[in-house]
């Protein structure tokens, strides 16, 4: 009986000790969101180029594809792109079927070879596109350019810094509206930081080689050169978001 009573006393005392512990209360705070949009002119571009050939024999299709892509790559290198800036991103050899009497048979073999080109001199992008389409009798597909920044990390850090400044300005305005002043920063949370790609803009342009002949023999226009492919990259937007928690006093 004595042992049972002692156990009951201990059971009652333990919750009492836990309730006596003080609960720490933090200082009053303001939580503010900040954002920044940083604009930078694109100084690098990536573009995809693919060739497609067909032949009744798989070996011949593969050979024709190799010859076609070799010619395309040579034209791109001649336009000023180093070999190190060209990489293969896809290769496939697939049968192309036809049906006769409900039964399939191989009509051709289709080989598709795709490369990605990095253009570090953005003003040469149009020349690279024209060069990729220069080889004759080759089915070529050219994808939309993807623009980038060589120092993307530096731009993202700058946008993040500006976003923190924006959040602190908002926190200060909130505190002033409540008749308070800001104390020390309690917490900063990094939100999203991303690059917004612009849509490529195209415009019509005609280049004329040569000019008007000397007077006396009659004015004749030289044969116009093939029009270039004009592309305007536009600006890139780097968007950053942060959340700042600041004490008030």
Q: What's the CATH code, domain 27-41+151-205+226-248?
A: 3.30.110.170
Here the tokens at position 28 are: 């009053």
- What is the assigned CATH class of domain 44-148? alpha beta
pLDDT digits (tens, 9 = 90+) for 4-22: 444 444 444 444 444 445 5
Among residues 143, 146, 181, 188, which one has the least CA distance to residue 166? 188
CB atoms within 10 A of CB 66: 14
For residues 214 and 243, give the distance between their C-alpha atoms in angstroms, rounded to a whole number: 70
The mean pLDDT of 82-101, rounded to a whole number, is 93
Q: What is the DSSP letter of 85?
A: G
Letter string b/e over residues 152-171, b meaning 16 or more CB atoms within 10 A of that residue's CB: eeebbebbbebbbebbbebb
pLDDT digits (tens, 9 = 90+) for 54-69: 999 999 999 999 999 9
Start-end ranges of CATH 3.30.70.2970 in the chain?
44-148
For residues 168 and 128, give the distance between their C-alpha atoms in angstroms, rounded to a whole number: 46
Predicted local confidence at residue 14, as pLDDT: 43
Predicted local confidence at residue 26, as pLDDT: 76
Start-end ranges of CATH 3.30.110.170 in the chain?
27-41+151-205+226-248
For residues 99 and 108, give the distance between their C-alpha atoms in angstroms, rounded to a whole number: 12
For residues 58 and 112, give the distance between their C-alpha atoms in angstroms, rounded to a whole number: 12
pTM of the predicted model as reported, rounded to 2 decimal places: 0.70
pLDDT digits (tens, 9 = 90+) for 164-209: 999 999 999 999 999 999 999 999 999 999 998 765 544 333 233 3
Among residues 63, 148, 145, which one has the least CA distance to residue 109? 63
For residues 146 and 233, give the distance between their C-alpha atoms in angstroms, rounded to a whole number: 9
For residues 122 and 230, give the distance between their C-alpha atoms in angstroms, rounded to a whole number: 12
Predicted local confidence at residue 44, as pLDDT: 95
């Amino acid at each position: 009986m004595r042992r049972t009573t002692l156990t009951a006393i201990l059971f009652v005392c333990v919750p009492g000790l836990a309730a006596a512990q003080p609960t720490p209360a933090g200082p009053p705070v303001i939580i503010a969101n900040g954002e920044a949009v940083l604009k930078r002119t694109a100084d690098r571009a990536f573009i995809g180029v693919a060739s497609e050939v067909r032949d009744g024999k798989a070996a011949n299709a593969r050979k024709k594809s190799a010859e076609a892509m070799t010619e395309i790559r040579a034209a791109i290198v001649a336009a000023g792109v180093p070999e190190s800036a060209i990489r293969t991103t896809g290769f496939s050899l697939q049968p192309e079927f036809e049906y006769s009497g409900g039964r399939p048979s191989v009509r051709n073999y289709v080989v598709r070879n795709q490369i990605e080109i990095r253009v570090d001199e953005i003003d040469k992008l149009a020349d690279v596109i024209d060069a990729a389409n220069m080889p004759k009798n080759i089915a070529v597909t050219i994808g939309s350019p993807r623009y980038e920044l060589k120092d993307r990390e530096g731009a993202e850090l700058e946008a993040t810094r500006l976003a923190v400044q924006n959040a602190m300005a908002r926190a200060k305005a909130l505190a002033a509206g409540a008749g308070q002043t800001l104390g020390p920063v309690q917490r900063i949370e990094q939100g999203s930081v991303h690059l917004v790609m612009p849509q490529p803009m195209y415009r019509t342009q005609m280049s004329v080689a040569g000019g008007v002949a000397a007077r006396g023999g009659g004015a004749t226009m030289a044969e116009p050169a093939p029009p270039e492919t004009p592309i305007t990259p536009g600006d890139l937007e780097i968007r950053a978001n942060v959340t700042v928690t600041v004490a008030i006093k």
